[in-house]
Structure formats: structure tokens, C-alpha cells
Chain A
């Protein structure tokens, strides 16, 4: 591939970052995915792990085995052979969401803020096929691209101390799902009954960078049923 726009830089003495573009978009995404796949399929000696993000792939390596220049050389060689067309297969993951009420305490606010009905917000939120650009912040937390501007809503003025796991939220033009209980300031519009992070599963997270996500609206009864199933498998996450 052409390497004109790719830049390599060091993040300290044990990370090398490959930056594919200055902006988020399908071009950068496909390259990040293809390069990540190449590293996953064939890790080089001394590589510890890699972290794909919006426009970068960061390679963590063992500096006792490899000097920065060695990693640089290996990465350049690999990039030259990289076939961006051979983007890895993209999975579509359906995420059931029970919107509003106790499941999404801010749905009413989001609807009012945009002068829409709650049903319209739900329809708009569950229409797109979202792109998982990267996973970060918490185990399995997806940075999703594709939220409609019609329901983009600012964060809460005062963040909540505790957001229940599975909560689906909106912050500006981002939407996402909280895989574990954390503090947070997103507008919560619904809750998903399936676990996004299960430490005993392989891999431990439901979503990975490159996946596409679709939100499927479900009823409170369906939520309870799915959450109950989950109790049998995982234990713990109850209403």
C-alpha cells in the first residue's frame, strides 16, 4: 500500500503508534482493521499486544527484546505488504434495548430537548447500523459512529455517581453502552439485558472494533426474560 499518509511515532520506550489518518472515517477505519488483523494473525516476536483506535493502532512491545528502530522497521515492512482491501469480516451484533421508564430515565428529557416524542427518539436511535470504531474507557465499551444529529444531546450537567451496567446512553453525537457500573454523565435512554463484559468468556467482551451494532427495541417483559436467562448463565445482574 501507499505509505504517504501513514505516520509512526513512539509513545515512550515500549509503545509504537501507527497513525493512518488525521480524521475519523471509513478510510482510516478499514486500514486500522486490516492492520490489526495482520498483527492478530501473525504477531511479531517481542510484541505484547496491540490496541486499535479510531485512526491508530498502538503496538505494545517488550523493549528488552526489541529496540524502537527494530519495531519501526518491522512495522514499515508489514505496512508495505498490507492489503487494505482485505478488511476483516464485519459482524453485525444485535443489542436488545428496553427504552425509557426506569430503564432509560433520560429518554423523556432527550425527547423534549428535540421536540420529538419518545417513540420517535427510539425509532431514530434504533434505525442505523452503528460502526464500532474502538473499544476503550471500560471493558467492552464501544465507541459507536452513526448517531443521528436529530437526537444528539449534551451530557448531564452533573454526572451520575453510579450508572447501572447495560445502560444505553447519548452524549453529544455519540451513543454507547456502559458494560460495567461506573460513574458517568451520559443521557440514559435505555438498558440492555445482555452482558457486554464476561470475564470468563473468550473473548471476554461481546463487541470488538470493526463490528456493526444494531439496537433492537424490546419490551420490559422481554427485558426481564432475557435478564433472567442471563442470571442463570452469569448470575447477579438483576433489576
Chain B
């Protein structure tokens, strides 16, 4: 796959680099893991294979061979040779076809998976791009025009499925299946979602009115937000006392509040440790919704418990397993 135009920020990401946080190595990985995993399943890959994370203003990519791709996540008006491509389903694209993106319609990060995955080497067990350390992905950096992304080999059963597409493909740039992932299964990407949180370890350091304000405020995602964290604009939160905290581990969804009282939600490229008071922690199941917020979007927080958060996550996993089976079934038919 040749990169004709890089787009705003396009990088190779898988589901993350685990096991090295004790060495200060960040986890990285797709901001919306649900979309990446689903995109992989649709093209017969392992769900944690690497794909392209496309942000807002997408790249232009030329297919250098017949490929089987799928696009999940944000709707960024993906087109093959100028024709809109349906998302959340497998798409067979002809050699020479150009994939490009147009106006963002919903969400801000789309994932492009390709059958066989991207054949870049894993660094510390992951293909995810870690920009600051310059490792993983394609040369440790975001994509640039002229890059040629190598595609891995197809497994035999996957090759067979591809045959069906070749037959179906007539004159167009691409062919697709009659089935797709039901919209019921993926989050409705909203510009003003409610995201569930559990209380953070330093919740008690905030004034009662700030604790109240945190769950009743509609925060605005500022333009300073990126893969590392979302900076939120809203009425500043205040502390009962100013105390210097001892640095400790933070994680995905940790809501830190620096001295200026403006919350920062840590995302995929978060640092491993931090020292700001943690008022809340976004539940894992709601991370994909958060990941799709673009600057200017609003977000509100509602409180839940760790038990509920884990129950929701288990339910999601069940749905995902069913989706996995349904996709397999669709190929058998």
C-alpha cells in the first residue's frame, strides 16, 4: 500500500505494548480498540493485529496489489476511486485503486485493517507507533507521502474467502459483502456523550462543590488534546488543600487535575506515572466513545462503581465473542 498523501496524523497501531510500563515505556495502541479489533476480525486477522489509525483528515493510499480491507470507527467518508466505501464490513479493493477520505461525518478516528496485517516488525512485542521514542509502526513515525506499507501473507482459509470477492468484482474499484456489523454493536459516536467514571484515588481532595461540578458539567475537548491526553475546558475544579503528591502509576482514562483545576483525561499515549490528583477514572468500556471525540466536542461524566464497570466490560466481551462467531458464520454460508 503506497502512501500518496499522509493526512493529518496516520499511524500504525495495534492493541498496545504491554509489560514495559515498569521501564517507563508507554502502552500506545489504537485509541478506539473496539474499532480496530472489529476491523481485524472482518478481514480474517487476529483481533490484535496492527491497522492504520486515521485521524480526522485522512490519507490517500494506493493499493499496490489486490487487497481485502475493512474500515471501522469514525465515518470519515472513505472512498475508493471516488466511490463511497461502506464501513464495518469487508471490502475487496483492486490493485491500483486509491483509498482516500473526505468530510468527517461522525467521530474522528477511523481504522483500516488489511487482510494479512501490516508486515512491520514488532518492537517490544507490539507494532504500535511510539512517536517520542521513535519505535514501532513504520520507522517509529507517522506516515509520510511516499511510504510503502508492506502487507503480510494471507492464511489459507482467508485466501479462499478472497476468491469469492475476486469473482464478485466486476468493473468497480471494489466489491463488498451483503452483510455488515450491526450498528447496535458499536457505540453511537456522539459529539456530546456521557462517559461513565468511578471515583479516583484523590477524589476526597476536592471540595464538595467541585466533586458535584465534575459530574454536572459539560466539558469541552480543547484543541490541545491528542493521543496522550484530552484537555478539558470548563469551570475550574478546586482542592480542599494543596498537597504535593508522590508520583505513582496512572492508566488509560485517568482524569488528572493540575493546579489550574482543568481536567486532563489520559489516553493511549499516556505517560506511565504522574503526580496530579486523580479525581476520577473513566471505565474501560467507555474508552472508545471518548477516543472518537474531536476538539470542540462536549463530554459529561456520570458516576458508577468498579463492580458495575467490570460487569459492563464482561457484557461487552460477550457481545464481541458473539460478533466474532457471527463473522465466521457469515463466511461459511
Q: Are B21 and A10 in contact (CB under 8 A)?
A: no
Q: Are A137 and B271 in contact (CB under 8 A)?
A: yes
Contacts of A182 in B (CB 8 A): 132
Say if the beta carbon of B65 comes within 8 Å of chain A. Answer: no
Contact stretch, chosen from B144-152, B164-172, B310-318: B310-318
Tell me which of A23, A48, A136, A199 contacts B135 (CB under 8 A). Answer: A199
Which residues in window 80-115 of A have CB below 8 A to B? Answer: none
Q: Are B23 and A12 in contact (CB under 8 A)?
A: no
Say if the beta carbon of A138 comes within 8 Å of chain B. Answer: yes
Q: Are A51 and B201 in contact (CB under 8 A)?
A: no
Q: Are A63 and B133 in contact (CB under 8 A)?
A: no
Contacts of A200 in B (CB 8 A): 123
Q: Are A13 and B247 in contact (CB under 8 A)?
A: no
Say if the beta carbon of B248 comes within 8 Å of chain A. Answer: yes
Which residues in window 157-216 of A have CB below 8 A to B? Answer: 179-180, 182, 197, 199-200, 203-205, 208-209
How far is the CB of A123 from the nearest CB of chain B, in Å?
29
Tell me which of A15, A55, A56 contacts B251 (CB under 8 A). Answer: A15
Tell me which of B23, B248, B253, B307 contacts A205 (CB under 8 A). Answer: B23
Q: Are A53 and B248 in contact (CB under 8 A)?
A: yes
Contacts of A138 in B (CB 8 A): 24, 132-133, 271
Q: Are A55 and B248 in contact (CB under 8 A)?
A: yes
Tell me which of B201, B246, B273, B317 contacts A137 (CB under 8 A). Answer: B273
Q: Are A135 and B310 in contact (CB under 8 A)?
A: no
Contacts of B135 in A (CB 8 A): 199
How far is the CB of A18 from the nearest CB of chain B, in Å?
10
A179 and B21 alpha carbons, distance in the complex (Å): 15
Contact stretch, chosen from A139-147, A148-156, A220-228: A139-147
Which residues in window 44-92 of A have CB below 8 A to B? Answer: 48-56, 58, 60, 63-64, 67-68
Which residues in window 239-289 of B have CB below 8 A to A? Answer: 246-251, 253-254, 271-273, 278, 281-284
Contacts of A56 in B (CB 8 A): 246, 248-249
Q: Are A24 and B283 in contact (CB under 8 A)?
A: no
How far is the CB of B303 from the nearest CB of chain A, in Å?
13
Chain B: which residue is nearest A16 at the CB level? B306
How far is the CB of B282 from the nearest CB of chain A, in Å?
7
A139 and B123 alpha carbons, distance in the complex (Å): 13
Say if the beta carbon of B297 comes within 8 Å of chain A. Answer: no
Chain A: which residue is nearest B255 at the CB level? A12
Tell me which of A36, A54, A63, A139 contacts B24 (CB under 8 A). Answer: A139
Chain B: which residue is nearest A197 at the CB level? B133
- Binary interface encoding of chain B residues 293-333 relative to chain A, with 1 for a CB under 8 A from any of its CBs, else 0: 00000000000001101100110010000000000000000
How far is the CB of A131 from the nearest CB of chain B, in Å?
14
Most buried by A among B20, B26, B314: B20
Contacts of A208 in B (CB 8 A): 22-23
Contacts of B20 in A (CB 8 A): 49, 139, 203-204
Q: How many residues of A contact B (CB 8 A)?
A: 47
Which residues in window 24-53 of B have CB below 8 A to A? Answer: 24-26
Contacts of B271 in A (CB 8 A): 136-138
Q: How many A-B residue pairs have CB under 8 A?
A: 139
Measured as residues with beta carbon below 8 angstroms from the partner, the interface class of chain B is 35 or more
The A interface is mostly helix, strand or loop, or mixed, namely loop
Say if the beta carbon of A14 comes within 8 Å of chain B. Answer: yes
Contacts of A36 in B (CB 8 A): 22
Quick one: given A199-B124, A204-B23, are A13 and B284 in contact (CB under 8 Å)?
A: yes
Q: Are B313 and A141 in contact (CB under 8 A)?
A: no
Contacts of B23 in A (CB 8 A): 135, 139-140, 197, 203-205, 208
A67 and B311 alpha carbons, distance in the complex (Å): 9
Q: Are A17 and B124 in contact (CB under 8 A)?
A: no
A51 and B25 alpha carbons, distance in the complex (Å): 11
Q: Are B22 and A209 in contact (CB under 8 A)?
A: yes
Chain B: which residue is nearest A56 at the CB level? B248
Tell me which of A64, A197, A205 contacts B317 (CB under 8 A). Answer: A64
Say if the beta carbon of A27 comes within 8 Å of chain B. Answer: no
Tell me which of A9, A48, A50, A141 contacts B201 (CB under 8 A). Answer: A9
Tell me which of A9, A12, A50, A55 contacts B282 (CB under 8 A). Answer: A12
Tell me which of B25, B134, B310 contacts A67 (CB under 8 A). Answer: B310
Contacts of B254 in A (CB 8 A): 11-12
Q: Which 7 A-B pairs have the closest CB atoms?
A: A136-B273, A12-B281, A58-B249, A13-B309, A51-B249, A205-B23, A53-B248
Footprint of A on B, CB under 8 Å? 18-26, 123-124, 132-135, 198, 200-201, 246-251, 253-254, 271-273, 278, 281-284, 306-307, 309-310, 313-314, 317
Footprint of B on A, CB under 8 Å? 9-15, 17, 19, 23-24, 36, 48-56, 58, 60, 63-64, 67-68, 134-141, 143, 179-180, 182, 197, 199-200, 203-205, 208-209
17 A-B residue pairings within 8 Å (CB atoms): A11-B201, A11-B251, A12-B253, A13-B281, A23-B246, A48-B18, A52-B22, A53-B247, A55-B246, A136-B272, A139-B24, A140-B24, A141-B24, A180-B133, A199-B124, A204-B25, A204-B124
